[in-house]
Amino acid sequence: MPEQNWFNPRGSRPEAGWTDVVDGRIAGWEHTGLRTGTLSDGAELRLPAAAVERMVVPLSGSFHVAWSGSESGEQGLEGRGGVFEGPTDVLYLGSGLEARITGSGRVAVAEAPTDIVKPVGYIAKADVPVELRGAGQSSRQVHNFGTPAGLDAVKLLVCEVITPAGNWSSYPPHKHDTNIPGGESNLEEIYYYESAVARGVDAPATADPFALHRTYASDDRAIDEFREVRTGDIALVPYGWHGPAVAAPGYDMYYLNVMAGPDPERVWNITDDPAHGWVRQVWETETIDPRLPYASKKEDV
């Protein structure tokens, strides 16, 4: 497959007002999708009726979603000031619905193709399962609003991860590209990245927040991606070992993960790269990074 399939810089796939649209029209990609967009008051973004289930995730700002089809309704999303301010409320839209999003800020919509219809579901930010994962310099914060812990869906698995400056995430490297019942899932994965000057740090106007993303082959399917990523960039993982995702010193890192696949069971089971999986044992002697958890700035006061 062409190398450019697996890395999409911000703005490289614009469509119908969306900043980027990733879906099955990309060669070799079929189980997941993602839309990202920016809205100002008075503007709107539309989601066409299609055989896909969706989750609307405010990245920054607040939104209103109205939908129609097999069911109709509307829901306000309080959102948040930005992705480094803790969880957001989210909205799940079942397959076949069309929707209109209005408001002000940045929004992402995760997608997975399916003909099976589940009811619309709203998850308030107070109900989002928050997990502090890893330890030491592998500490990160996970918001599991779109996993089985937080959502009843058909195929879609969605979570987001905050990694403080200097820490490693998606580590140790792992894969989920083979269906081994009870052992490993076969899932495509999307990483949508944002990076910002670390919380509480004064930086010059010339600061250029970035992070690093790595994907490499786990079998005879060739893939080799080592990318510098910035806010709005999208990395695709069709198969292979992936990780680490690294927050550079001075810059916090965020990513939204969207996963789905052909397996009958909606579950995230992984296999660690045997060269690095032993690192998990080190966490037993370390503590969670004291900078975590990240909440809204007003909650920190």
What is the token pair recorded at 260? 């789905």
Q: What is the pLDDT of residue 4?
A: 54
- Residue listed under structure tokens 């600061």: 207
Under 8 Å between Cβ of 120 and 58 = no
Q: What is the DSSP letter of 212?
A: E
* Mean pLDDT, range 175-195, rounded to an integer: 97
Q: For residue 136, is pLDDT > 80?
A: yes
Q: Which residues pair with 159 in a beta bridge?
A: 257
State the fold for domain 3-287. Answer: Jelly Rolls (2.60.120)
CB-based contacts of 234, cutoff 8 Å, min separation 6: 7, 8, 10, 13, 20, 22, 34, 36, 190, 191, 192, 193
The confidence score (pLDDT) of residue 3 equals 47
Q: In this predicted model, what pLDDT tens digit does every residue of 42-76 receive, in sequence order?
A: 899 999 999 999 999 999 999 999 999 999 999 99
> In the chain, where are the structural domains located?
3-287
More confident of the two residues 4 and 207? 207
The pLDDT value given to residue 2: 43
Q: In this predicted structure, what is the pLDDT of residue 297?
A: 73
Q: Which helix (H) or strand (E) holds 282?
A: helix 279-282
Q: Is the pLDDT at 300 greater than 60, yes or no? A: no
What confidence tens digit (pLDDT) does each residue in 212-241 have?
Answer: 999 999 999 999 999 999 999 999 999 999
Amino acid identity, residue 76? G
The reported pLDDT for the residue numbered 42 is 82
User: 271: which strand partners?
Assistant: 175
Contact 136, 284 (CB under 8 A): no
Average pLDDT rounded to a whole number, residues 287-301: 83
- Range with the poorest average pLDDT among 39-43, 162-166, 239-243: 39-43
Please spell the DSSP secondary structure of 159-197, one letter per residue.
EEEEE-TT-EES-S-EE-EEEETTTEEE-EEEEEEEEEE
- Residue 290 above 50 pLDDT? yes
Cα dihedral sign for 246, 29, 159, 54? positive
The pLDDT confidence band at residue 296, using thresholds 50, 70 and 90, is: confident
Cα 155 versus chain centre, distance: 15
Q: What is the mean pLDDT of residues 102-112?
A: 98
The whole-number pLDDT of residue 301 equals 40
pLDDT tens per residue across span 124-135: 999 999 999 999
- Does residue 298 carry a pLDDT above 70? no
Query: Average per-residue pLDDT in the chain?
Result: 96
The arithmetic mean of pLDDT across residues 144-161, rounded, is: 96
DSSP 214-225: EEE-SSSS--EE
CA–CA distances in Å: residue 67 to residues 7, 162, 216: 31, 30, 40
What is the average pLDDT across 258-262? Answer: 98
